């Protein structure tokens, strides 16, 4: 799909159309145009970019690749910006990405997306509805689009903050394997977000230190994009660390509960080992056992067993293993 928006300063009109507007833009030396390409055949995209807008073949090759890290590369007549934006169906941390390429010239902006781009559609809608002034600057419009692409990550990260609070409560009240699995998945998703945002932050940081010619005069917009990416990166790092802390806390609580169970089983074992030993001695089938002839031997043995159990429980209590004073005091 090809959509074009042409602004003619002579008439002051903004026109929305298709490929026919490119011919009109080519004939006018004053008009500016935004051409949005979405899921067009690679051959037609390459021909349009190279022949009509003079885009370098290496920039076209990078734009058409299925996977390529974000970058900003200045050329003689235009600047190439490659972003990795969220796809149209992304509403959670389990997101997909699309390649969004921007070619910024003095009088044109060409965008190419590998899938439906909600950010491009939003800016196009605001431009055609008058929310954005029609006498747009291609560089200013490109940086506004970059900011919109970055902004789409914010709701995803804010949703994580609320879920982290809920998971902390669940971890203390009703821990489960499903909760641990969710924490592992969330940690992996946040790592993916961090990687994407770090790429973008590095790209725009380098662009600020050495601004391409086509982006000159838009330092404030460039700074705005960079600051937003820094804020998003800071949030993603914070939530990644909190998720990691919750995972470690969950494992520590699980280990603590296991230790308590093992302690209880050990106490039971220690109690029953000596009395089982005593019962085993007098349960042996030897004909001559002196105590078997003693009339009160049964009660004496029971008393001895109870005394051993009481002594063991007293020792455990003094050591704090039965909820008494803390161990070591």
Q: Give the CATH superfamily of 257-318.
A: Magnesium transport protein CorA, transmembrane region (1.20.58.340)
Count the Cβ atoms, other than its own, within 10 Å of residue 218: 19
CB 44 within 8 A of CB 64: no
Number of helices and strands in the chain (H, E): 10, 7
Along the 329 residues of the chain, how does pLDDT read in single tens digits? 888 888 888 888 888 888 888 888 888 888 899 999 987 788 888 888 888 888 899 998 998 888 888 999 999 889 999 999 888 887 778 788 889 999 999 889 999 988 888 998 999 898 888 888 888 889 999 999 999 999 999 999 988 888 888 888 888 888 888 888 989 999 999 999 999 999 999 999 988 888 888 888 888 999 999 999 999 999 999 999 999 999 998 888 888 888 888 888 888 888 889 888 888 888 887 777 777 777 888 888 889 989 999 998 888 888 887 765 555 54
d(C-alpha 175, C-alpha 182), whole Å: 12
Taking domain 2-252, whether its CATH number is 3.40.190.10 is answered by no
Distances (CA, A) of 100 to 112, 149, 171, 216: 6, 9, 40, 21
Q: Where are the alpha helices (DSSP H) in 174-294?
A: 177-209, 219-281
DSSP classification of residue 322: T
Q: What is the pTM of this model?
A: 0.78
Give the total residue count for the chain: 329
The domain ranges of the chain are: 2-252, 257-318
306: left (phi over 0), alpha (psi -120 to 50) or beta: alpha
């Amino acid at each position: 799909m090809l959509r074009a928006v042409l602004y003619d300063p002579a008439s002051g009109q903004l026109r929305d159309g298709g490929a026919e507007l490119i011919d009109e833009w080519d004939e006018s030396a004053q008009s500016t145009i935004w051409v949005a390409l979405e899921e067009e055949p690679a051959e037609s995209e390459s021909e349009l970019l190279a022949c009509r807008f003079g885009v370098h073949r290496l920039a076209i090759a990078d734009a058409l690749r299925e996977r390529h890290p974000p970058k900003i590369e200045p050329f003689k007549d235009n600047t190439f910006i490659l972003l990795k934006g969220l796809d149209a169906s992304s509403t959670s941390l389990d997101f997909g990405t699309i390649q969004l390429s921007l070619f910024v010239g003095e009088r044109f902006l060409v965008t190419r997306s590998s899938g439906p781009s909600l950010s491009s559609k939003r800016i196009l809608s605001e431009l055609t509805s008058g929310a954005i002034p029609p006498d747009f600057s291609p560089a200013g419009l490109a940086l506004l689009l970059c900011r919109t692409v970055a902004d789409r990550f914010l709701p995803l990260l804010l949703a994580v903050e609320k879920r982290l609070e809920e998971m902390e409560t669940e971890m203390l009240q009703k821990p489960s394997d499903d909760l641990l699995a969710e924490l592992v998945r969330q940690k992996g998703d946040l790592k993916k977000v961090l990687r994407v945002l770090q790429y973008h932050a590095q790209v725009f940081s380098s662009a600020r230190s050495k601004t391409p010619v086509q982006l000159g005069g838009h330092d404030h917009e460039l700074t705005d994009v960079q600051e937003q990416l820094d804020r998003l990166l800071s949030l993603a790092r914070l939530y990644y660390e909190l998720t990691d802390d919750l995972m470690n806390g969950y494992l520590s609580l699980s280990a603590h509960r296991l230790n308590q169970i093992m302690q209880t089983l050990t106490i039971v074992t220690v109690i029953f080992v000596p009395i089982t030993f005593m019962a085993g001695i007098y349960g042996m089938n030897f004909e001559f056992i002196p105590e078997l002839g003693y009339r009160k031997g049964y009660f004496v043995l029971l008393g001895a067993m109870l005394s051993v159990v009481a002594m063991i429980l007293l020792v455990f209590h003094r050591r704090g293993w039965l909820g008494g004073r803390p161990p070591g005091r």
